[in-house]
Amino acid sequence: MTMILGAIMMLAGATTAYTDTVALPEVLVSDVAKVNVELAPFNTNIVTETEINHSAESSLLPVLVNQVPGLFATQRGMAGYGVSDGAAGDVNIRGIGQGNKVLFMIDGQPQWAGVFGHSVADTYTANGIERVEVVKGPSSLLYGSNAMGGSINVITKRQREDGWSGRARAMFGSFSTQKFSLYTGFKSGNFSGSVAGNMDRTNGNRDNSEFWLANEIINFDYEPSANWQVGTTVNLLQSKADNPGSIYDPLLSMWTKISRGTASIHIKDSYSVTNGGLQAFINWGRHKIDDGYKIGATPRDYLFNSTDYNMGFTLYQNFIPWQDNNLSAGVDFLHWGGHNWNTSKTDPDAPYTSEARQHENEVGVYVMMQQGFWNDLLSLNAGVRYQHGSQYGDQWIPQAGFILRPIKDSQIKFSFGKGFRAPNIRELYLFPPHNPDLDPEYLYNYEVELRQFLFNGKFNIGLALYYINAKNLIERVFSDGRPLNRNTGRLINKGFEIDASYIINRQWRASASYSYLHTSKPIAGAPKNKLDLEVSYNPGDFEFTLQNNNIFSIYTIAEGSNCVKESFSLLNFQAAYNIPWRTAVRLFLKLDNITNAHYDIVYGFPMPGITVLGGVELKF
């Protein structure tokens, strides 16, 4: 299949019969942030609104997997991820991610469940999103704990132009799948607001795998002057996911109900020599879970319940003290924790059982400086963070690097950094093998990236090499015959990523990326080889896209001597027709896995074969 797509790409190049002007890249409107990731020596991918909308996906994770080399997310079915058994929605970057080692954020606000410490993948929907910034490698200098393997910052869409605008979409397809989404925004003078919502529902590709989700995002911003902005963002989620269990050990009546929300307020300033902001936020959740029962067994007589919270503030300011210098400094505070308990199915008034409450506090201060030389031919970057946690004590986080631009349209980035992750409440206090004396996990990361633009920017190619040395990882061991969490784990990951894209002409575009990962021990959900190819053809009002996604040597289970590998190749096709009406109407068709490949990403959870989705989109 790879050879077929490669041949199509070659034919695309052969069809170029005329010279074409260069298509300008999508303009990104950068909000005031802790740091401009494109100017720092981090290995970064920006996934744009155009790429997100073109994918016709309702979840962000499949978009990121296709667009970001070295990133992978586990799935266990047709739609949705849920929580509880099944290990779906685990995101890793270069093999680092399990146990919340990759930090998800919405508009810079950290997102993870306060009790179990992990992000909730169903929260990250594609509707109402302006862009996603993915930093590969430790981001603990800027964000502290949980950014050990990298960070993913989801930037919600703001209304930029005066007046009303919007987009509505409806999709229908395999397994009784229905997906509806709406975005609308308004701007008048200094005031702007937007509302986005979506609802997904599917019967799933297996019996007892139904899923539904509703999500709402509300933004309001006010600019009292050209230099100041105040605003608020609210993000709400409600979902229910049924889980049939592994095909080798099926379960009945296993489900998860989730209600989550985030809210933040911000004040931002922007002047010629300084900019910054203050953001206060809260992230909360309510989970109810039935862990199900095996066929022929007695159903459980209780439900697991939990509430969690993650709140705090971040204050940061960027300065230009002299020419070609940028100084960033900030302080962060986090208060997180939660409450879990069991309730009787038959007697709602019965006392709670297995009840526990815990919380932790963290405070961090960082400073980072970047200095350019010789008209930015060379830029040096260095910074340090001091972090204190109420459970683990003090941590020092250094980071340094440079950007070299030796010739026109080329750059070389090098960075060294430390990342860390504080143990979560589950690992510390809940359920065997908990251990209240755990220390943070940490790693050291070394990487170099080379990038070159050619043909007036129409061709872009990059190569990144990295070496990761992780220590103090939390592992389950046996002490006095009982399981116990200990800081005993070590891991070395090394590899490379190469990507290229070519704007052939107005109609044809092609891109490819390949990732290689070598690990010192098996890691579930981290492919050794990942190859993504894409070619698009847009004649007039039509759009056609062919994708080939290849995963080789991925562990679907990695538990001691019980390790299972999987390899698979997926061919996906999209077609769309833009009806030239006054109100833009777009009809589209999406075919996934059209070769009907059979594969698992999570052991015992077969993924669907060919799936078909079609729909209509209105822009106004």
State the DSSP H helix or E strand holding residue 429, giving kind and residue range, or none if neither. Answer: helix 425-429
Amino acid (1-letter code) at residue 327: L
Percent of the chain scored above 90 by pLDDT?
79
More confident residue, 299 or 24: 299
**Residue 34: what pLDDT?**
80
Task: For residue 150, give Cα distances in angstroms to 52, 120, 185, 243, 534.
Answer: 20, 16, 31, 29, 25
The 8-class DSSP code of residue 30 comes to P
pLDDT grade, residue 86 (50/70/90)?
low
pLDDT grade, residue 33 (50/70/90)?
confident
Does the predicted TM-score (pTM) go above 0.85? yes
Amino acid (1-letter code) at residue 183: Y
pLDDT higher than 60, residue 16: no
φ, ψ dihedrals at 527, nearest 5°: -70, 140
* Distant-in-sequence, close-in-space partners of 378: CB < 8 Å, separation ≥ 6: 372, 402, 403, 404, 405
Per-residue pLDDT tens for 465-503?
A: 999 999 999 998 888 888 899 999 999 999 999 999 999
Question: Tokens 């050794």 — which residue?
Answer: 528
pLDDT grade, residue 87 (50/70/90)?
low
Per-residue pLDDT tens for 162-172?
A: 999 999 999 99
- The rounded distance, in Å, linking the Cα atoms of 316 and 440 is 25
Nearest in space to 321 (alpha carbons), one of 274, 277, 366: 274
Nearest in space to 493 (alpha carbons), one of 94, 137, 139, 101: 94
- 606's tokens: 């077969």
Amino acid (1-letter code) at residue 132: V
User: What CATH architecture does domain 2-15+29-619 belong to?
Assistant: Beta Barrel (2.40)
Q: Are 117 and 425 in contact (CB under 8 A)?
A: yes
pLDDT higher than 60, residue 187: yes
pLDDT, the chain, mean: 90
**Residue 25: what pLDDT?**
38
Would you kindly state where each structural domain of the chain is located, as residue ranges? Answer: 2-15+29-619
Per-residue pLDDT tens for 462-473?
A: 999 999 999 999
pLDDT higher than 60, residue 21: no
| Max Cα–Cα distance, the chain, nearest Å | 77
- 166's tokens: 């919007």
**Residue 89: what pLDDT?**
84
Q: Helix H segments across 176-294?
A: none
- The rounded distance, in Å, linking the Cα atoms of 69 and 116 is 28
Query: What's the average model confidence in pLDDT over 195-204?
Result: 95
